[in-house]
Amino acid sequence: MAKVVTRPRLGFLEKIFIPEILRGLALTIRHLFRKKLTMQYPEQRWTLPRGYRGAPTLLTGLDGREKCVACQMCEFACPALAIKIKAGETADGKERFPDYFHVDFGRCIFCGYCQEACPEEAIWLKDKFELADYRRDTLIFTKDTLLAMGRQEPYLPGKELPLAQVAPKRPDGPKDELRATIGGTSRQKIGEDPRVIGAAGGGSVWEEDA
């Protein structure tokens, strides 16, 4: 059964909005005499609150591997259609990884739905917000760029570890070789698993055969 809602009757002063205008002017006048605070950005920066939703980044797990398994849950959950993923498989076909992962920050609305939808906690909205540019194509970030952003502070306790702190293990053969940089990751077979990635400024991470 529908509920009938009656609107309150407005008085004469409420209809002409004069009291509300005066109330707004009084608030403005009070601020004129308060102490001014001007931040000299970018030399001075605000301390971002806990839980600030900045740019989505891809996280690296405690084992030195990218956490994303290309389930595409974040792509399906994104209301702005800003995420595009193409899945790849390891040599044994038992695991998947994102062979192609792009985020279009010209579309992203920083809603955090991708973070909420991810079952692996592989995508996280950190504190990166300086993304302005003059060209739309430069706002499309690739997987390597998103991983590099995720390897920077602040780190999430229990969810990721700075790769520079992972103890490197030397390879036993040519199939284990890996070279990675923040700007672009070149990858070879590593124990039949292409999801092992390099450290940010801390050399490479080596994975021994199982």
pLDDT, position 164: 62
Decide: 101 and 118 in contact? Cβ < 8 Å. no
Among 104, 150, 98, 142, CA closest to 124: 150
CATH number at residue 82: 3.30.70.3270
Strand ranges (DSSP E) for 59-178?
Answer: 83-89, 96-104, 123-125, 140-141
Q: Is residue 61 assigned to a domain?
A: yes
Map tokens 């989505």 to a residue.
56
pLDDT, position 166: 52
Q: Is residue 122 assigned to a domain?
A: yes
Among 205, 53, 52, 59, CA closest to 146: 59
Q: Is residue 19 assigned to a domain?
A: no
Tens digit of pLDDT at every position of the chain (210 positions): 788 888 888 888 888 888 889 999 999 999 988 888 888 888 988 888 888 899 999 998 887 788 999 999 999 999 999 999 999 887 766 688 899 999 999 999 999 999 999 999 999 999 888 888 999 999 999 999 999 888 888 788 777 766 566 544 444 433 333 333 333 333 333 334 444 444 333 333 333 333
Angle, alpha carbons 19-22-25 (nearest 5°): 155
Q: Is residue 144 assigned to a domain?
A: yes
Q: Is residue 94 assigned to a domain?
A: yes
Map tokens 């038992």 to a residue.
94
Domain housing 71:
56-159
Domain count, the chain: 1
pLDDT, position 140: 94
Decide: 86 and 77 in contact? Cβ < 8 Å. no
